[in-house]
């Protein structure tokens, strides 16, 4: 056996025995806790909020809702748009399309069609959810998605129409 081989074997044996000794002397519980990973989704162990606090918060929220409802801030009016209402919105959009010709190739038409396509593309026929109902394309998760890049120009184009017709989303 060569000297290099003997020195390698000696070093391995020394490392093995020192590693064993280290693990044997440390308690298993301390070893387990040292390697434990903590996640932000784990509940905190020292929760000082009592159930009474949650009940009080719910009572305040319910009271505020009742007050706003009775003061007329919350409307329960059901809107049933007529054909004339749809025509007014249509006419407003058509007038804006003729008036604003400073987008891309001279028309906002293609980007408006793309907005309608992307908004309707989320419709699920099985659950009858999604789609353009609710105009969710204007909110962060859907509106900021990479596939919807550039559609903010169409939404900005339609903002004055939304301002002129407060119940615009139902049309």
Higher pLDDT, 72 or 128: 128
pLDDT at 88: 92
Higher pLDDT, 163 or 69: 163
pLDDT at 6: 65
Widest Cα–Cα separation across the chain = 101
State mean pLDDT over 150-154: 89
Per residue, what are the HEC states of 37-96?
Answer: CCCCCCCCCCCCCCHHHHHHHHHHHHHHHHHHHHHCCCCCCCCCCCHHHHHHHHHHHHHH
76-130 pLDDT, tens per residue? 666 787 888 889 999 999 999 999 888 888 889 899 998 888 888 877 888 877 7
Model confidence at 15, pLDDT cuts 50, 70, 90, reads: low
20-71 pLDDT, tens per residue? 555 555 555 555 555 555 555 555 565 566 778 778 888 888 888 888 777 7
pLDDT of residue 10 exceeding 80: no
C-alpha–C-alpha distance, residues 51 and 42, integer Å: 19
Least confident of 73-77, 129-133, 146-150, 160-164: 73-77
pLDDT at 171: 47
The answer to whether 151 touches 113, Cβ cutoff 8 Å, is no
The first and second tokens of residue 77, run together, are 């009016």
């Amino acid at each position: 056996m060569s000297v290099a081989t003997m020195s390698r074997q000696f070093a391995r044996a020394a490392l093995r025995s020192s590693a064993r000794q280290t693990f044997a002397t440390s308690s298993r519980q301390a070893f387990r806790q040292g390697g434990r990973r903590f996640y932000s989704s784990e509940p905190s162990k020292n929760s000082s909020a009592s159930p009474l606090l949650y009940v009080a918060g719910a009572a305040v929220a319910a009271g505020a809702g009742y007050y706003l409802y009775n003061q007329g801030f919350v409307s329960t009016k059901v809107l049933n748009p007529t054909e004339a209402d749809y025509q007014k919105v249509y006419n407003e959009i058509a007038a804006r399309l003729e008036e604003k010709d400073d987008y891309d190739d001279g028309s906002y038409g293609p980007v408006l069609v793309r907005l309608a396509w992307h908004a309707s593309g989320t419709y699920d026929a099985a659950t009858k959810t999604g789609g353009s109902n609710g105009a969710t394309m204007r909110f962060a998760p859907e509106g900021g998605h990479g596939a919807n890049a550039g559609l903010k120009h169409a939404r900005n184009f339609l903002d004055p129409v939304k301002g002129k017709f407060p119940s615009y989303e139902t049309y």
